[in-house]
Structure 1
Amino acid sequence: MAQAQPRSKVGELRPSQILFSAGIGAVIDLPNLSTMVMGLDDWELTHAAELGEERLLAVVRRSLSYSVKRLLSPPVPPEAESLSPLLDESQRVGIPVSPFPTWMLCPHCRLLAPLQSGLFDLKTDRFRSDQNRYRHTNCPKGKHPPTVIPARFLVACRHGHLDDFPWRYFVHRGVDCQRGTLRLHEYGVSGSAADIEVKCDGCGANRRMSDAFGELGKKYLPQCRGRHVHLRNFAEGGCDQQMVGISLGASNSWFPITLSVLSIPTTVDRLAQLVEKHWTVLSKAVSLEVLAAFRLIGQLKEFAKYTDAELWVQMEQRRSATVDNAEDEAKDIKTPEWQVFSKADTSLNSADFWLSSVAAPKGYEAYFNKVVLVERLREVRALVGFTRIESPGDFTETGEMPEDYWAPLSRQEPKWVPATEVRGEGLFMQFNELAIAQWESLPQLQAYKKQSVAAHRRWRIMRSLDPDANYPGVRYFLLHSFAHALMRQLAIECGYSAASLRERIYSRSPDEANGPMAGILLYTAAPDSEGTLGGLVSLGAPTTLGRHIGQALEQMRLCASDPLCAEHSPLQSLNSLHWAACHACLFSPETSCERGNKYLDRTLLIPTVKTELESLAFFKPVG
């Protein structure tokens, strides 16, 4: 007997994709349609679960809006495989989308028209919703009405606006004849804009699509209308930007702005840890009577050995601590993480956080104090906005992005934001502070510091930013470069792809508040197998890790792009903030790097072919 096949969902996505590739304001493809993910105002929250992470909520409130009260996961339909498709309401659960672009193209007669024209009919299938599509019923060519496809060109601007391509304005050069329909013809097989022509049947006007891009596009396209398709409105006061032509599916059409924190325990008390874990539910109990009701309906199973009075006392302590610490945690999210990892207190271990300390890597004891194996960790991420054309990675800090570039998630002040949680594993490496201090005091490094500060200032001045703000320091250059070098090496053996590994750099000089920090955390960020396969932690043994560090540093000695890579300087270009680094040696995927591949230099790790900077290397050659 053949086994029944599981139902296929329309446009099914993993929760993490809602934050990184198909979030609010992004254009995504369904089997027969191109659609826009709508704003928070249109989301149905019945099947959305609240995620508890007070530290992240404080950061979101400070960065986005103090009206945000909750972090919610994307709505997920309940398991209901026994129900028939006709009766299963879970088929309607999901994230709302709307057809976009609204201009469609008939592949047979090449008719180009908007859905509002009535020339295309919606064909629905009650049994197979993935077959829903628009058809050109009156197409003069072919026996059967063909399925129309979305037009492949759009317009956008740097203020986060997106709109249908102004086809009539473009082909008629600003003066619409108001008579004929439009046709889009392709000549040749290259698919380039120069081989595509739009033509008006009424007046015969025609134009090549190559005129919509580059400098010609700035001349021939109209000013942006300030349209937010995902919000179904236009920006108040319009928009002063020039439209930019882009292709459907272009990588610069949507960049997410996300915030993330690691869930770290704050107490060794078992009851306090349980309260922290279940605070999303417990925070709703405003009295002992409500708490007792929660216990009766089975919400407090993990608190079976504690009385309601004991639990209430701990909850009151949690409430007062949350109010006192929320603002401090929003300002500095890495210091609490550094304190937990550097102390490596195993009494803090819990179901979501488990660590153990091992010796420094063999052969590199002079450079590291300790290595901490983080066998379990939980990262919570939230989507707080998005940009178009300009990537958030073009700025050194998310908070530095101009408000005009930051597209909103809702029409009103948001009461919640979408968030996801990822469970994984990681390696924390604490550098020897004395070794770092001795390296920073090298006389040869002083000129390098001045040049890096000058490059940082010039880069920021070109972007109208405060030139003296957010310079990470040469210590960060070293830690960041080492993290990238080791990530590339570990990805070869740990079982995860390079894009599944992420970094967190803990860097602070001794003269700054909260003391010195010098450490890195490399951890998994892949939700497919919950990131806990153990492949990364298994590489943290002193002998194994020492071997990998040696191999990683040896790989940094010579790059395939040398000598150009080794001699690169950010002073040579206005668009870079890295030194000896490129895609062949140090660059990592965008999802892995916390600074957009900026502030990298392998000459600080190991001597390279650029002999005059050999003395800047932190690690001494072995052998």
Structure 2
Amino acid sequence: MVSRSVTPLRRAHVIAPFGPGALLLTRDRVSAVVCAPATWLKSLPKRPSGSVPVLDELTINDTNLQAATGVARFVMPWPSGSNPKKDRDWLLPAARFPLVEACSNPKCFRLIYRSPADASPGRCNACTPPSSKRRSWPTFQTALVLACPAGHLDDIDWVGWLHALPGSSCRAPDVRYRVSDVADRPYLNCESCSRSAQFDPNTTFRCTGARPWLPHSEPETCTHCARPLERTSTAAYYAWQLSSLTIPLADADNPALLHALTENATLRTLSRLTRRTEVIEKIVETAERLGIHTDAAEVTRHLKAIQSGRVSVPRHVQELRTRELNALLSSDHPRRITARLPDLIVEPQDIGKFQHSRLGRCLAAVSLVPRLRETRVCVGFCRVEPIAPDPEIGYAQLWGKPRPKDFAKDSPDDWLPGYQVFGEGILLLLEPVAVARWAGRVAGDSRLAAAARAAPPGPESQRLRWLLAHTLAHLVMRAAAPHAGYPLPSLRERIFAVDERTGFLVYTASGDLHGTLGGLVELGTPGQLSDILEAAVDAASWCATDPVCGEDAPGPRGSGSAPGACHHCLLVPETSCEAFNRGLDRAVLNGHDDIPGFLG
């Protein structure tokens, strides 16, 4: 593992885009793959006996996501402090990859194979005699790697590819690697048999099943074909993220106590014990030390409320989205004057004040969300093409073994990487009758059906409603960003196409300077929001690349492509989009040829 190259990384980036299995460039310009969570445990510092275990201290709870992912808890990446010696105990391991390097000497270009545990700068000793006083030439990592849709990653067999071409035969291959003007088309030649060729990046290989993020692991059997990809390509890693918004108990009269019982490591441990009088008294004593004034009766009442909330957890993502939408539309989470701000504040608005724009007249509800808390979890990843997250497959990817049905007590592998952050947002809910009427008119259209395949599984009408909400969310994000004080990458979307309701939440939850400036909810006043909605509709009516953009056809595979969408009009940074910029089409709003638009 790369033990001598320490590179700072934002805590949120350990979930995405640099989660387990991702390729990153270290401070020393070495390409490395982030190792699996099992290796993180070995790097955690030891704690004195009797203190709170490290994993318990870093644990974050979200009962909804825990049920959806099948794990017992999530662990937030540990922060680095100001003590360099202590920080070295908290390193997140990474392994050198790719392992194949080439000499930079123009007279050599020899291929060299490195060890993943070798952290030293690459040097070629073959072209510099040992007796020479001149320093040996440095080596550089090859630009391409082999990736398959199942997430496997391996070096390209350059020697095998060159000698697999027709008319090639060599007993002692000595292959040289030279870069070309195109990064994915290097030149290869063999000094032994004089065979030479320029690499074809469209070549497909049989997947070897290699998993370099799991050190010392054996390759898996894989039936997929592997494709060459540039190691810096976004297609080399698509993080599988699941997220949920914290929905506080509406009847909790002490939000600070409720938060402490679920988030504080000591109180969380005590609350799992039996409800004996001495345990309740210990909880009250600990809460008082934290500055939370309470008594035994209030603690008992809140523990019962927490337990009742855990009994009825959603079992799939759509059910979770239904609960979130219900909370974002309700008046059960107002502003409160308490010792601690609640995790969710919702302010439903009078919809009659937003009828001054074309889109505003199609709204059923508007809610301002001055405060929300989001939990994000890395449940796995894929490569080459983005596909829907599968927590069971993802657990096997991250841990190198199948996920058990039930974890043993104090199991070290009962968790996934997670992160929590606060933010604010605006929820827009579309008028259900108008949406249903539009979905019925466009049902069966091949262009929209292809784009809607990026939506979660469901009937055609639900996928079309998702496509409409997704396209509108992108338009509103792009229109709101210049006025909200946030850069576009700090905004995110949350699409709701549940029951017969269709809507979206535009929010910010970046956890840093760009995500806490506080200007999104201020745009929710009737005048400002109407102007933004009108600007979003205008942006959908034309594009700088029309007619090419507007007449774009779905991709040959039809796997949720984005016809009528490009970087000039609809696309946003992939960190802001739930579907990796798939499932978009401006035609859903204003129409195109035979496709009727939602606004006519």
TM-score (ref. length: structure 2): 0.81
1:321 pairs, out of 305, 309, 313, with 309
Tell me if the contact between 1:267 and 1:348 (Cα under 8 Å) persists in the aligned partners: no
Deviations 1:490-517 (CA, angstroms, capped at 9, x unpaired) = 1122122222211112234xxx4xxx42
**Which secondary structure does the structure 2 equivalent of 1:591 belong to?**
helix
Tell me if the contact between 1:158 and 1:389 (Cα under 8 Å) persists in the aligned partners: yes
Tell me if the contact between 2:159 and 2:173 (Cα under 8 Å) persists in the aligned partners: no
Tell me if the contact between 1:266 and 1:348 (Cα under 8 Å) persists in the aligned partners: no
In structure 2, what is the Cα distance between the partners aligned to 1:335 and 1:51? Answer: 23
Partner of 1:60: 69
Instruction: Report 1:384-403 matches (<5 A).
Output: 384-392=379-387, 397-399=388-390
For the pair 1:76 / 2:75, whether they are aligned, the reply is no
Deviation at 1:575, TM superposition (A): 4.8
**Which secondary structure does the structure 2 equivalent of 1:233 belong to?**
coil
Partner of 2:49: none
Q: For residue 352 of structure 1, what is the amino acid of its counterpart?
A: D
For the pair 1:183 / 2:176, whether they are aligned, the reply is yes
Partner of 2:400: 411
Q: Are the structure 2 counterparts of residues 239 and 140 from structure 1 closer, same or farther at C-alpha, using a change threshold of 3 Å?
A: same
For the pair 1:481 / 2:498, whether they are aligned, the reply is no
Partner of 2:7: 11
Deviation at 1:341, TM superposition (A): 1.4
In structure 1, what is the Cα distance between the partners aligned to 2:325 and 2:456? Answer: 28
**Which secondary structure does the structure 2 equivalent of 1:526 belong to?**
coil
In structure 1, what is the Cα distance between the partners aligned to 2:306 and 2:160? Answer: 60
Q: Are the structure 2 counterparts of residues 168 and 367 from structure 1 closer, same or farther at C-alpha, using a change threshold of 3 Å?
A: closer
Farther-moved stretch of structure 1 (568-577 vs 525-534): 568-577
Q: For residue 37 of structure 2, what is the amino acid of its counterpart?
A: L
Partner of 1:244: 227
1:107 pairs, out of 95, 104, 114, with 104
Partner of 2:24: 28
In structure 2, what is the Cα distance between the partners aligned to 1:331 and 1:273? Answer: 29
Partner of 2:410: none
Deviation at 1:596, TM superposition (A): 3.9
Report the aligned-residue RMSD.
3.6
Q: For residue 41 of structure 1, what is the amino acid of its counterpart?
A: A
Identical-pair percentage: 26
For the pair 1:305 / 2:300, whether they are aligned, the reply is no
Partner of 2:407: none
Unaligned runs of 5+ in 1: 1-7, 62-67, 124-131
Q: For residue 512 of structure 2, what is the amino acid of its counterpart?
A: D
Deviation at 1:533, TM superposition (A): 1.1
Deviation at 1:437, TM superposition (A): 0.8
**Which secondary structure does the structure 2 equivalent of 1:278 belong to?**
helix
1:354 pairs, out of 339, 345, 351, with 345
In structure 1, what is the Cα distance between the partners aligned to 2:59 and 2:458? Answer: 40
In structure 2, what is the Cα distance between the partners aligned to 1:475 and 1:75? Answer: 40
Unaligned runs of 5+ in 2: 46-53, 404-412
Tell me if the contact between 2:381 and 2:389 (Cα under 8 Å) persists in the aligned partners: no
For the pair 1:428 / 2:432, whether they are aligned, the reply is no
2:146 pairs, out of 150, 155, 169, with 155
How many corresponding residue pairs? 552
Partner of 1:451: 445
Deviation at 1:332, TM superposition (A): 0.9
Tell me if the contact between 1:487 and 1:498 (Cα under 8 Å) persists in the aligned partners: yes
Tell me if the contact between 2:491 and 2:506 (Cα under 8 Å) persists in the aligned partners: yes
In structure 2, what is the Cα distance between the partners aligned to 1:139 and 1:357? Answer: 72
Partner of 2:322: 335
Partner of 1:3: none
Partner of 1:536: 520
Tell me if the contact between 2:257 and 2:287 (Cα under 8 Å) persists in the aligned partners: no
Deviations 1:433-483 (CA, angstroms, capped at 9, x unpaired) = 3xx4146337xx64422326x9638996xx9x9997575244333333322
Deviation at 1:292, TM superposition (A): 4.4
Deviation at 1:344, TM superposition (A): 3.2
Q: Are the structure 2 counterparts of residues 306 and 479 from structure 1 closer, same or farther at C-alpha, using a change threshold of 3 Å?
A: same
Partner of 2:495: 505
Partner of 1:127: none
In structure 1, what is the Cα distance between the partners aligned to 2:24 and 2:153? Answer: 14
Deviation at 1:612, TM superposition (A): 5.6
Deviations 1:507-553 (CA, angstroms, capped at 9, x unpaired) = 34xxx4xxx42332100132322722112111111111111211221
For the pair 1:372 / 2:360, whether they are aligned, the reply is no
Deviation at 1:388, TM superposition (A): 1.6
Q: For residue 178 of structure 2, what is the amino acid of its counterpart?
A: H
Deviation at 1:374, TM superposition (A): 1.3
In structure 2, what is the Cα distance between the partners aligned to 1:405 and 1:340? Answer: 29
Q: Are the structure 2 counterparts of residues 143 and 11 from structure 1 closer, same or farther at C-alpha, using a change threshold of 3 Å?
A: same
Partner of 2:261: 278
Q: For residue 208 of structure 1, what is the amino acid of its counterpart?
A: A
Q: Are the structure 2 counterparts of residues 269 and 295 from structure 1 closer, same or farther at C-alpha, using a change threshold of 3 Å?
A: closer
Q: Are the structure 2 counterparts of residues 161 and 471 from structure 1 closer, same or farther at C-alpha, using a change threshold of 3 Å?
A: farther
Partner of 1:164: 155
TM-score (ref. length: structure 1): 0.78
